[in-house]
Chains A and B, each alone.
Chain A
Amino acid sequence: MVALVLVIITSFVFTGLIIRTKSIVSGRKGPGIFQPVKNVWVLLNKGIVYSGISGPITRMAPVVVLASIVVASLMVPVAGFKPLISFNGDFI
């Protein structure tokens, strides 16, 4: 459970943290650590253009990818905590 919370929290700040650190190291100021989240929010408020020949698969695919990444993250042990899903042969 701890791992899950950790994953959710870090996923919001981690990318921003990396970009910020890189900027500071290379002598720039860099964007704030929540910039990627803001970007996502801006993108979500934009319109969507689907191709005329795309089908429901195109619409479903990103959702399925996101969901399977979240489920996969449940299986990865983080920082020594036992993951939510763990059993013999779970690396299949």
Chain B
Amino acid sequence: MTPRRKVALSFAGISIFLVTIVSSIVSINALISANTDSGSFLQFIQANISSLIICDKLSAFFILIIDFTVVSGFLYSIGYLKPYLKNKPEAWIKLHYLALVWLHASMIMVPLFRNGFWFLTVWEIMTLSSFILVIFDFDAKGTLKAGLSYLLQMHVGMIFILGALVISSKGFKSVSFNNLESFFQNNSNWPVFLLFFIGFGLKAGFFLLHTWLPDAHPAAPSHVSGIMSGVMIKLGIYGILRVTTYLVNDLAAIGITVIVLSAITGLFGVMMAILQHDIKKLLAYHSIENIGIIGLGIGLGIYGTATGNIMVSIVGYAGALLHTLNHSLFKSLLFYSAGSVINQLHTRNVNKMGGLMRLMPYTAWAFLIGSIAISGLPPFNGFISEFLIYTSLFNGIGNPEFYPLIVIFIAMLSLVLIGGLALLCFTKVFSIVFLGQPRTGYDEKPVEVKKIMILSKVLPVVPIILIGILPFLIIKPLMSLTGSIFGIAGTIPDVSLYEPMKFVSFGAVTLLLLVLIILIIRALVVNRNRIHVGPTWGCGYTAVNAKQQYTAASFIQEYAALTKPLIKTGFSNLNYNEDELFPEKREFHTHSDDFIKSRLIFKPADFIINLLRRAAIFQTGRLQHYILYLLLFLLLIFLLTFLKLI
């Protein structure tokens, strides 16, 4: 590394750590303090720097998540970008780090501003800086296209947010989120909430609004994918939660709509994820799935507030918040692990991987922990937040109204299905990437990645395990936090939530202890001298071909056949001709299309492009023609004026 690059790197590092320290102090201060909008350090900032900065508990919660993920992402990027240093221009690397610093700062600022102008400004900076981060590998195929699609869709989203803010600020001096309180009391909440939901949902990646996500994440370098998927799309969730805190009427309808949309989002995300062969695209679809789960929690929270059922509302919101935290942890972990694999193999196709557990053990264990956590299995953190949402759903059944009951019941079933399908998906990825053998040998043997990349994976692993086995410690603070954020008063009976959490911890600890005990017993009982290592099916039949293993497509063939009516999967395969005595070499590949993307984005875009192409015949390049157009236009104006049409 040249000294100047070192300067750029240390500049980025110092800025990120400084921003982290300052913002963490502010947010921890806000979390601990009893009042919602205070904290001595924050008061100092408000008095001396800007009175626009407001850090309440919701902001503080999100800021802490952002800080944690960005720091681990930055550490990871030091190792990850090393191979790129040789073949990328120096200025580009510097710009990348500058954009990373800007992304961090703007993400911190988004939850801090309530004023519309400043909010949209930092929102825009966030979009632009993340765009620069996404197109880092700009000479790779499809990267620029993915980046541009991301940029365009974010701007569409911003227009929706702007529109909603302007509508709600009619009659006020300034455009601000604070106006929502009185606006919502006097007007119907439903339309403006929908506008906000579309605007923020584009960032978060809800169903129908998600199409940028599966392209942008694979295109970006892995630390950026981790940060974007872990925290940046959560700012969409933050926006929805922020608006939710002001809602007054239409609550039941909004709640049910959010629940339905989220259930569809979750199911769609995981169903598409299973079919992917690109490891990062698969993780990107899992982000959509997890946004669906978070949305379920939010919807339940709104619906519970409408019916006045505190067990539904507060537990639902708490589940959404905790899942936001959990997802940022395990998704960044998964992206970092996947990035380490990509860094060694230079491909994202899972079919070209295999047997990496023996070559990259730390990465493999990290990915395994992330997989178990994201599938919502104990003893890791994903289970805890999904458990909260399940609890909320079960309490929601107690409501006697018929249609909401049906919706909640279906939501519950879809959550079960999401969990099961996620498990299938990660069984597939883990077994194909890390177990078995590579189908086609490696050009150069992959080795375990650098220490700093392993360290950045250990960072999220620690809270994943802690939340997973000690949930009773965090559940009470989480509940009081949720209560104060959403203004829900009331206490939860011990038996319905805190007791179960103790048992969950007990179960998790018992499980881990039992595994340890049985391992020790086995080690004592089994005679060490009698352990042999031999080839698979080594009984006189030794030549098992690596190509006989399951592939990513064959592993899920049954599933793909089941979902065929919903998701178009295709494969190219030529049948043998009758006169073909010796079969020629054949290519075979499978693919799956995102039908939303093709219907909603590509078709209208193609239509417009075709239309514009037809319009291009007017552009002849001859002066006479242009004068003719001018004349015709004047004539038209004259006629219209004459007929008093304009």
Complex contact B530–A71 (CB within 8 A)? no
Report the separation of the CA atoms of residues A89 and B388 in the bound assembly, to the nearest whole angstrom: 10
Minimum CB distance partner of B519 in chain A: A63
Q: In the complex, what's the smallest C-beta–C-beta distance from A34 to chain B, in angstroms?
A: 18
Complex contact B507–A75 (CB within 8 A)? yes
Indicate whether A71 sits within 8 Å of B514 (C-beta atoms), given known contacts A45-B527, A57-B435, A89-B391: yes
Residues on the B chain within 8 Å of A63, using CB = 515, 518-519, 522
Complex contact A49–B515 (CB within 8 A)? no
Residues on the A chain within 8 Å of B526, using CB = 44, 48
Contact with A along B484-498 (1 / 0, CB 8 A): 000000000001110
Complex contact B518–A66 (CB within 8 A)? yes
Residues on the A chain within 8 Å of B511, using CB = 67-68, 71
Report the separation of the CA atoms of residues A57 and B504 in the bound assembly, to the nearest whole angstrom: 25
- The contact of B525 among A44, A56, A70, by CB within 8 Å, is A44
**B463 contacts A by Cβ under 8 Å:** no
Report the separation of the CA atoms of residues A89 and B504 in the bound assembly, to the nearest whole angstrom: 11
**B355 contacts A by Cβ under 8 Å:** yes
Contact with A along B354-366 (1 / 0, CB 8 A): 0101100100100
Residues on the A chain within 8 Å of B357, using CB = 55-57
- The contact of A74 among B355, B437, B507, by CB within 8 Å, is B507
Complex contact A52–B535 (CB within 8 A)? yes
**B506 contacts A by Cβ under 8 Å:** yes
Complex contact A47–B527 (CB within 8 A)? yes
Report the separation of the CA atoms of residues A49 and B511 in the bound assembly, to the nearest whole angstrom: 27
**B499 contacts A by Cβ under 8 Å:** yes
Question: Chain B contact residues: over half helix, strand or loop, or mixed?
Answer: helix
Contact with B along A50-64 (1 / 0, CB 8 A): 111111110010011
Contact with A along B530-558 (1 / 0, CB 8 A): 11111110100000000000000000000
Complex contact B503–A90 (CB within 8 A)? yes
Minimum CB distance partner of B361 in chain A: A56
Q: In the complex, what's the smallest C-beta–C-beta distance from A48 to chain B, in angstroms?
A: 5
Q: In the complex, what's the smallest C-beta–C-beta distance from A86 to chain B, in angstroms?
A: 7
- The contact of B518 among A67, A88, A90, by CB within 8 Å, is A67
Report the separation of the CA atoms of residues A75 and B355 in the bound assembly, to the nearest whole angstrom: 37
Report the separation of the CA atoms of residues A92 and B526 in the bound assembly, to the nearest whole angstrom: 36
Complex contact A92–B390 (CB within 8 A)? yes
Name the interface residues of A4-38: CB closer than 8 Å to any CB of B: none
**A85 contacts B by Cβ under 8 Å:** yes
Complex contact B530–A52 (CB within 8 A)? no
Complex contact B533–A49 (CB within 8 A)? yes
Minimum CB distance partner of B437 in chain A: A53
Question: Chain A contact residues: over half helix, strand or loop, or mixed?
Answer: mixed
Complex contact A50–B532 (CB within 8 A)? yes
Report the separation of the CA atoms of residues A27 and B183 in the bound assembly, to the nearest whole angstrom: 85
Q: Which of A68, A75, A88, A92 has the most CB of B within 10 A?
A: A92
Indicate whether A51 sits within 8 Å of B531 (C-beta atoms), given known contacts A75-B507, A88-B496, A89-B390: no
Name the interface residues of A74-92: CB closer than 8 Å to any CB of B: 74-75, 85-90, 92
Of the four ranges (under 10, 10 to 19, 20 to 34, 35 or more), the interface on chain A belongs to 20 to 34
Report the separation of the CA atoms of residues A63 and B520 in the bound assembly, to the nearest whole angstrom: 10
Report the separation of the CA atoms of residues A60 and B518 in the bound assembly, to the nearest whole angstrom: 10
**B436 contacts A by Cβ under 8 Å:** yes
Complex contact A67–B506 (CB within 8 A)? no
Q: In the complex, what's the smallest C-beta–C-beta distance from A33 to chain B, in angstroms?
A: 23
Minimum CB distance partner of B365 in chain A: A56
Q: In the complex, what's the smallest C-beta–C-beta distance from A92 to chain B, in angstroms?
A: 5
Minimum CB distance partner of A64 in chain B: B515
Q: In the complex, what's the smallest C-beta–C-beta distance from B380 to chain A, in angstroms?
A: 13
**B394 contacts A by Cβ under 8 Å:** yes
Q: Which of A46, A52, A71 has the most CB of B within 10 A?
A: A71
Report the separation of the CA atoms of residues A45 and B511 in the bound assembly, to the nearest whole angstrom: 26
Q: In the complex, what's the smallest C-beta–C-beta distance from B296 to chain A, in angstroms?
A: 15
Residues on the B chain within 8 Å of A85, using CB = 503, 506-507
Minimum CB distance partner of B518 in chain A: A63
Indicate whether A71 sits within 8 Å of B510 (C-beta atoms), given known contacts A50-B531, A52-B534, A92-B390: yes
- The contact of A71 among B390, B391, B495, B507, by CB within 8 Å, is B507
Report the separation of the CA atoms of residues A74 and B503 in the bound assembly, to the nearest whole angstrom: 11
Complex contact A51–B510 (CB within 8 A)? no
Name the interface residues of B36-93: CB closer than 8 Å to any CB of A: none
Residues on the B chain within 8 Å of A66, using CB = 514, 518
**B387 contacts A by Cβ under 8 Å:** yes
Q: In the complex, what's the smallest C-beta–C-beta distance from A46 to chain B, in angstroms?
A: 7
Complex contact B500–A46 (CB within 8 A)? no
Report the separation of the CA atoms of residues A53 and B542 in the bound assembly, to the nearest whole angstrom: 13
Residues on the A chain within 8 Å of B533, using CB = 49-52
Residues on the A chain within 8 Å of B514, using CB = 66-67, 70-71
Report the separation of the CA atoms of residues A60 and B510 in the bound assembly, to the nearest whole angstrom: 17
Residues on the A chain within 8 Å of B506, using CB = 85
Name the interface residues of B363-394: CB closer than 8 Å to any CB of A: 364, 368, 387, 390-391, 394
- The contact of A87 among B355, B503, B522, B525, by CB within 8 Å, is B503
Report the separation of the CA atoms of residues A49 and B506 in the bound assembly, to the nearest whole angstrom: 35
Residues on the B chain within 8 Å of A90, using CB = 500, 503
Indicate whether A46 sits within 8 Å of B515 (C-beta atoms), given known contacts A53-B536, A89-B500, A92-B387: no
Report the separation of the CA atoms of residues A64 and B522 in the bound assembly, to the nearest whole angstrom: 12
Residues on the A chain within 8 Å of B534, using CB = 49-52
* 9 contacts across the A-B interface (CB closer than 8 A): A48-B526, A49-B538, A54-B536, A55-B358, A55-B434, A57-B357, A63-B522, A70-B514, A71-B507
Q: Which residues of A contact B (CB under 8 A)?
A: 44-57, 60, 63-64, 66-68, 70-71, 74-75, 85-90, 92
Q: Which 10 A-B pairs have the closest CB atoms?
A: A47-B530, A87-B500, A67-B514, A55-B357, A51-B536, A67-B515, A87-B503, A48-B531, A63-B518, A85-B503
- Other than A67-B515, A90-B503, give 7 A-B pairs with Cβ distance below 8 A: A49-B533, A50-B531, A50-B532, A53-B437, A54-B435, A86-B503, A89-B391
